């Protein structure tokens, strides 16, 4: 009979051996120490192989991209994971939806925090996709050969808005019901096709059970599937278009200008993920996602406001339905789609706020100010009957 100490040692050795065998079955080599092994990590790993094996030192400076594209990608993944959790409990029917959301908020394990992460993550995704687009614009990174990737980005921006908007209805409370009613009304101002599009989206003339089912299907499967495919394509194109945009004079002349992607870049990306997740968790523990009274189609909330990112359009619609509902969104979308094909000169590529692009930079900034100001007016300065009011003169709340 062996002494107990030896028995424990044998068990520990066996345990370590098993762990090592499991490790080797997943990762086919030991920790990559040499340059050759480090390049191999990227080539041989399913997730990492979207990276090039080496990157320009300049491309990984945080000030270059501010990590915004990566953050958009992570937010999409977080939305996907938390969304699946919520799907276990949610039921897309008018009679059950609101109660299920209340259950998530009160009785389901981790229900409230997961719902909060999903909600604030969705809001953050709209903001970060927009910021990422501004970063790409201000660094002239949409110019050849990246024109088509910009177009893919514009489609992704529209899909992000669609994802958020279709999710808005699902809690089936007064806020979501009237926001979607107003939002889909804006769409219906387009001549001929507008009312047809609204009817198709809602499955009828008003927001009801058909609309809830359609929004649910769009939200949980149709839009995310298309978005996931396009995000993959978009990121793959970044590499195929020659990596991140950089000024031609800054092409590295020697191997000193490049570093292997593993481990530095991979660890930097992991750090962004951890910081983002922790940040989102903290916000979700401090602030609850809104949930008002159950939707009541007979009692409009006053004011009825669209989701905040459409409030700029709602503000314009209050002056002219044609301009706010048709002209401005159409012209803006067309402008974004054709921009890289008309502004093609090599000036200022990969450079923040290049002087040579001053005209375009002023134009974009004015546009940005217009969008932000109209949204702020809609959010903070519009009260009952869409009249102006000062945010500090709090109105009594929805009737
Ligand atoms: C779900 C939305 C999006 C995701 C996940 C995403 C992801 C990314 C990532 C990871 C990169 C690599 C560099 C970086 O971090 O900036 C990138 C680059 C790029 N993105 Fe996006 N993006 C999205 C939306 C957009 C939008 C709305 C636009 C513009 C309308 C856009 C245009 C571009 C372009 C042109 C590049 C190349 C930039 C360069 O070479 O410097 N993307 N995107």
Token duo for residue 109: 């394990």
The answer, yes or no, to whether residue 49 has pLDDT greater than 90, is no
| Ligand 1 neighbourhood includes 146 CB (under 6 angstroms) | yes
CA of 32 to the centre of ligand 1 (A): 30
Q: What is the pLDDT of residues 321-379, one digit of tens each?
A: 999 999 999 999 999 999 999 999 989 999 999 999 999 999 999 999 999 999 999 99
| Ligand 1 neighbourhood includes 132 CB (under 6 angstroms) | yes
| Ligand 1 neighbourhood includes 164 CB (under 6 angstroms) | no
Q: SS3 breakdown of the chain: % helix, strand, coil, rounded to 5?
A: 70, 5, 30
CA of 226 to the centre of ligand 1 (A): 16
Is the residue at 27 inside a domain?
no
| Ligand 1 neighbourhood includes 160 CB (under 6 angstroms) | yes
| Ligand 1 neighbourhood includes 70 CB (under 6 angstroms) | yes
| Ligand 1 neighbourhood includes 65 CB (under 6 angstroms) | yes
The C-alpha R_g of the chain, in whole angstroms, comes to: 25
Show the domain range for 356: 33-386
| Ligand 1 neighbourhood includes 159 CB (under 6 angstroms) | no
The answer, yes or no, to whether residue 396 has pLDDT greater than 60, is no
Q: What is the pLDDT of residues 132-163, one digit of tens each?
A: 999 999 999 999 999 999 999 999 999 999 99
pLDDT given for residue 297 in this prediction: 94
The answer, yes or no, to whether residue 383 has pLDDT greater than 80, is yes
CA of 153 to the centre of ligand 1 (A): 6
pLDDT given for residue 204 in this prediction: 95
Q: What angle do CA 234, 201, 299 make, to 5 degrees?
A: 125
Segment 339-344 long-range contacts (CB within 8 Å, at least 24 positions apart): 339/142, 339/150, 340/142, 340/143, 340/144, 340/146, 340/147, 340/150, 340/151, 341/147, 343/142, 343/143, 344/143, 344/144, 344/147
Which atom of ligand 1 lies nearest, measured to the CA of 69? 15
| Ligand 1 neighbourhood includes 133 CB (under 6 angstroms) | yes
Question: Which residue, by CA, sits nearest to atom 13 of ligand 1?
Answer: 69
pLDDT given for residue 399 in this prediction: 43
Residues linked to residue 173 through DSSP beta bridges, in sequence order: 294
d(CA 173, CA 292): 6
The answer, yes or no, to whether residue 230 has pLDDT greater than 70, is yes
Residue among 198, 193, 221 at smallest CA distance from 210? 198
Is the residue at 277 inside a domain?
yes
The answer, yes or no, to whether residue 397 has pLDDT greater than 80, is no
Token duo for residue 96: 């059950």
**DSSP 8-state assignment for residue 222:** I
What pTM did the predictor assign? 0.92
**Whole-Å CA distances, 276 to 153, 159, 350:** 22, 22, 25
d(CA 105, CA 86): 11
Question: Which residue, by CA, sits nearest to atom 15 of ligand 1?
Answer: 69
pLDDT given for residue 264 in this prediction: 92
Question: Which residue, by CA, sits nearest to atom 40 of ligand 1?
Answer: 244
Which of 153, 335, 346, 350 should be mutated for ligand 1, with most atoms under 8 A from CB? 153
Q: What is the pLDDT of residues 163-203, one digit of tens each?
A: 999 999 999 999 999 999 999 999 888 888 899 999 999 99
Question: Which residue, by CA, sits nearest to atom 39 of ligand 1?
Answer: 244
Is the residue at 7 inside a domain?
no
CA of 25 to the centre of ligand 1 (A): 35
- 70 Ramachandran zone, left/alpha/beta (phi>0; psi -120 to 50): alpha
3-state secondary structure at position 259 = strand
Question: Which residue, by CA, sits nearest to atom 14 of ligand 1?
Answer: 69
pLDDT given for residue 191 in this prediction: 82
Question: Which residue, by CA, sits nearest to atom 35 of ligand 1?
Answer: 150
Question: Which residue, by CA, sits nearest to atom 28 of ligand 1?
Answer: 153
pLDDT given for residue 273 in this prediction: 97
pLDDT given for residue 291 in this prediction: 97
pLDDT-based confidence at residue 395 (cuts at 50, 70, 90): low
The neighbour count for residue 312, using CB atoms within 10 Å, is 23
Residues linked to residue 388 through DSSP beta bridges, in sequence order: 382
Span of 89-93, 279-283, 301-305 with lowest mean pLDDT: 301-305
| Ligand 1 neighbourhood includes 245 CB (under 6 angstroms) | yes
Question: Which residue, by CA, sits nearest to atom 8 of ligand 1?
Answer: 69
Share of the chain above pLDDT 70, in %: 96
pLDDT given for residue 57 in this prediction: 85
| Ligand 1 neighbourhood includes 142 CB (under 6 angstroms) | yes
d(CA 273, CA 121): 13
| Ligand 1 neighbourhood includes 151 CB (under 6 angstroms) | no
d(CA 173, CA 296): 8
Is the residue at 11 inside a domain?
no
Give 127 or 251, the one with higher predicted confidence: 127
Which residues, including other chains, have CB under 8 Å from residue 85's CB and lie 6 or more apart? 110, 114
CA of 377 to the centre of ligand 1 (A): 29
CATH number for the domain that contains residue 325? 1.20.810.10
Which residues, including other chains, have CB under 8 Å from residue 300's CB and lie 6 or more apart? 178
Which residues, including other chains, have CB under 8 Å from residue 109's CB and lie 6 or more apart? none
Is the residue at 18 inside a domain?
no
CA of 127 to the centre of ligand 1 (A): 14
Is the residue at 397 inside a domain?
no
| Ligand 1 neighbourhood includes 150 CB (under 6 angstroms) | yes
Sign of torsion, CA 150 151 157 160? Answer: negative
Is the residue at 123 inside a domain?
yes
pLDDT-based confidence at residue 248 (cuts at 50, 70, 90): confident
Domain count within the chain: 1
Q: How far is CA 189 from the centre of its chain?
A: 27
CA of 149 to the centre of ligand 1 (A): 8
Q: Give me the mean pLDDT over the 22-39 stretch.
A: 83
Is the residue at 39 inside a domain?
yes
pLDDT given for residue 255 in this prediction: 60
pLDDT-based confidence at residue 398 (cuts at 50, 70, 90): very low
Segment 219-228 long-range contacts (CB within 8 Å, at least 24 positions apart): 219/163, 219/166, 219/167, 219/170, 220/83, 220/87, 223/159, 223/162, 223/163, 223/166, 224/80, 224/83, 224/163, 226/159, 227/76, 227/156, 227/159, 227/160, 227/163, 228/76, 228/80
pLDDT given for residue 251 in this prediction: 64
């Amino acid at each position: 009979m062996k002494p107990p100490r030896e028995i424990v040692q044998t068990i520990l050795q066996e345990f370590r051996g098993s762990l090592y065998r499991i490790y080797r079955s997943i990762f086919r080599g030991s920790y990559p120490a040499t340059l050759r092994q480090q390049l191999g990590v990227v080539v041989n790993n399913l997730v990492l192989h979207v990276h090039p094996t080496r990157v320009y030192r300049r491309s990984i400076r945080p000030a270059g991209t501010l990590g915004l594209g990566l953050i958009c990608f992570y937010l999409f993944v977080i939305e996907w994971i938390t969304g699946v959790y919520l799907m276990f409990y949610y039921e897309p029917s008018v009679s059950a939806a609101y109660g299920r959301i209340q259950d998530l908020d009160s009785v389901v394990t981790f229900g409230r925090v997961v719902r909060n992460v999903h909600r604030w993550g969705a809001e953050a995704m709209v903001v970060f996709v927009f910021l990422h687009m501004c970063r790409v614009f201000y660094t002239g990174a949409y110019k050849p050969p990246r024109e088509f990737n910009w177009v893919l980005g514009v489609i992704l921006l529209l899909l992000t808005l669609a994802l958020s908007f279709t999710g808005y209805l699902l809690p089936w409370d007064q806020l979501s019901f009237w926001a979607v009613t107003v939002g889909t009304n804006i769409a219906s101002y387009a001549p001929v096709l507008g009312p047809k599009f609204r009817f198709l989206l809602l499955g009828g003339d008003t927001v009801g059970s058909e609309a809830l089912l359609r929004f649910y299907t769009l939200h949980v499967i149709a839009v995310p599937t298309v978005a996931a495919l396009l995000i993959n394509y978009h990121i793959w194109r970044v590499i195929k278009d020659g990596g991140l945009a950089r000024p031609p004079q800054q092409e590295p002349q020697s191997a000193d200008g490049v570093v292997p992607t593993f481990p530095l870049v991979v660890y930097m990306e992991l750090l962004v993920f951890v910081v983002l997740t922790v940040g989102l968790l903290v916000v979700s523990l401090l602030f609850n996602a809104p949930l008002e009274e159950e939707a009541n189609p007979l009692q409009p909330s006053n004011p009825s406001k669209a989701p905040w990112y459409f409030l700029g359009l709602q503000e314009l619609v209050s002056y002219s339905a044609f301009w706010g509902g048709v002209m401005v969104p159409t012209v803006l979308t067309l402008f974004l789609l054709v921009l890289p094909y008309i502004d093609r000169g090599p000036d200022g590529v990969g450079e923040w706020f290049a002087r040579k692009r001053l005209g375009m930079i002023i134009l974009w900034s004015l546009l940005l100010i217009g969008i932000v100001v109209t949204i702020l007016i809609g959010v903070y300065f519009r009260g009952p009957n869409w009249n102006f009011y000062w945010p500090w003169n709090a109105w009594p709340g929805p009737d």
